[in-house]
Amino acid sequence: MVKVASSTTQHSHKPRILLLSDEYPPAGGGAGVIAKQVAHYLHRHHYPVTVISGDSGEKETEFPHILVKQQRLLWAMHYWNTLRQADTLEQYDVIILNDYLSAYLAGLCLPEHLLARCVMVVHGRDAFFYFHRQSKKHLLFQYQRYYARTIKYCKKILHVSQYTQKQYLLDLPDAFTQMINDKSQVCYAGIDYHKFSRSDVPTPTTLSAIPQQKRVLLSVSRLTKSKGYDDMLSSFKTLVTTSTTDYHWIIAGDGDYRDEFEQKIREYELGQYITITGHLSQHELIPYYQRADCFWLLSHHETCGLVYLEAAFFNLASIGYDRTGVKEAIHPGINGYFFSQNDNLESLIEKCMQLKITRTPHTICENYSIECFVNHLVDRPVPTSHKQKNEALIP
């Protein structure tokens, strides 16, 4: 039986929310992070919210959270058993489909009138996965058929960036393009800055061991090859071997590329200049953002680039490539600069440090508030100031 968020007086005027996300922290990537942010924001603002997610994530205790077994080949059946309890699901006014698998599962399990309450969130190349990939799993699970059913009957499709929407429309078959014209919207996923407002986080030993005179570069991401770590390592080696200033690079993250990357660090003889912390929660990241002089991540593909926005909250300017969703997260001369292979990295770092002194990076934070994103999800009126700010940033 699906446990529903309990009814209270403070909840009476707010819609009941079901958030479905196969991905949930600490497993997965950005989609799961956004799911957690949205769930906590809704709970903190007294929305009756229930989360259903895969069991590779951690179970929440502050609000109803159902973990579903992600057992190979049987995962869809486990979700089916949870979601087909339509008598319980009827109580939800809004059903948020936070990732590409949850959109498929809704099409598989929900009747049309419940799909009409669904808001799909698109974080990446979802349409490409369903309409252009072919595999035995696609045939077995009928991915395309049930994802298309969700597209047809859902209330809204919310893209987390202009770049994501553009790619989605390019990947979508022509037969569906007209169908979603009135449903497709863009709203930046936003940052729950409330999570970064704590001042009681102790300084970890990895930070206290770094001399204050050293300039600290910070990267926060999954440690995968696509995040550009090879490019960064090459640039960092040039930096430390040619500069008269001492630098230290902190990487907050973990992933399948870590072992190979650590081997390359040893081959480059840069071990004394680089610290890899492993995965850190938003709470644990606070002292690292506070200590760093510059944030950099030369990712080859970002749909939204939330980490650049997190950095801006701490007045930390960012360096990234002028491509994909990063183009919408970094505003040159305000919260960072774009990097090309011909650029002088140290010069960009110094320019970023000047932005930190003048406190300009923080000025963009209101443009990416999670409040605006949640308002779009639950169909609450979006304040005019938020609309104007978001529209002003669209290239």
My answer on whether 216 and 262 are in the same domain is yes
My answer on whether 231 and 136 are in the same domain is no
pLDDT at 296: 98
Which CATH number characterizes residue 19's domain? 3.40.50.2000
Among 189, 166, 145, smallest CA distance to 374 is for 189
pLDDT at 7: 43
In a domain, residue 1? The reply is no
Burial of 378 (0-12, 13-18, 19+ CB in 10 A): middle
**Which among 146, 162, 190 is the end of a domain?**
190
DSSP at 63: S
My answer on whether 180 and 200 are in the same domain is no
Query: What are the residues whose beta carbons fall under 8 Å from the beta carbon of 279, sequence distance 6 or more?
Result: 26, 252, 253, 254
My answer on whether 186 and 220 are in the same domain is no
My answer on whether 178 and 232 are in the same domain is no
pLDDT at 393: 34
The Cα–Cα gap between 154 and 389 comes to 28
In a domain, residue 376? The reply is no
Residues 276 and 244 sit within 8 Å (Cβ to Cβ): no
In a domain, residue 277? The reply is yes
My answer on whether 204 and 125 are in the same domain is no
Among 150, 136, 134, 144, smallest CA distance to 173 is for 144
- Distance in Å from the first CA to the final CA of the chain: 47
How is 316-350 classified by DSSP, letter by letter?
Answer: --EEE-SSTTHHHH--BTTTEEE--TTS-HHHHHH
**Which among 190, 210, 243 is the end of a domain?**
190
My answer on whether 82 and 110 are in the same domain is yes
- Structurally, the chain folds into a number of domains equal to 2
My answer on whether 29 and 176 are in the same domain is yes
My answer on whether 86 and 198 are in the same domain is no
My answer on whether 184 and 213 are in the same domain is no
The Cα–Cα gap between 29 and 125 comes to 14
**Which among 139, 156, 190 is the end of a domain?**
190
Domain limits for position 229: 194-366
- Give, in order, the Cα–Cα distances in Å from 322 to each of 123, 262, 298, 350: 19, 27, 9, 19
How is 126-167 classified by DSSP, letter by letter?
Answer: HHHHHHT---HHHHHHTHHHHHHHHHHH-SEEEESSHHHHHH
In a domain, residue 281? The reply is yes
Among 215, 199, 389, 204, smallest CA distance to 319 is for 215
In a domain, residue 393? The reply is no
Query: What are the residues whose beta carbons fall under 8 Å from the beta carbon of 215, sequence distance 6 or more?
Result: 245, 246, 247, 248, 293, 294, 349, 353
Residues 218 and 288 sit within 8 Å (Cβ to Cβ): yes
Tell me the three state secondary structure of residue 72: coil
My answer on whether 162 and 221 are in the same domain is no
Strand partners, 247: 215
| Percentage helix, strand, coil for the chain under 3-state DSSP, each rounded to 5 | 45, 15, 40
pLDDT in tens for each of the 395 residues of the chain? 555 554 444 555 799 999 999 999 988 788 999 999 999 999 999 999 999 999 999 999 999 999 999 998 899 999 999 987 756 899 999 999 999 999 999 999 999 999 999 999 999 999 999 999 999 999 999 999 999 999 999 999 999 999 999 999 999 999 999 889 899 999 998 888 888 877 778 999 999 999 999 999 999 999 999 999 999 999 999 999 999 999 999 999 999 999 999 999 999 999 999 999 999 988 899 999 999 999 999 999 999 888 999 999 999 999 999 999 999 999 999 999 999 988 999 999 999 999 999 999 999 988 888 999 999 999 876 554 444 344 333 32
Residues 248 and 215 sit within 8 Å (Cβ to Cβ): yes
DSSP at 92: -
Residues 260 and 226 sit within 8 Å (Cβ to Cβ): no
In a domain, residue 383? The reply is no
Strand 118-122 relative to strand 65-68: parallel, antiparallel, unpaired? unpaired
The Cα–Cα gap between 229 and 251 comes to 10
pLDDT at 382: 53
My answer on whether 175 and 209 are in the same domain is no
In a domain, residue 3? The reply is no
In a domain, residue 386? The reply is no
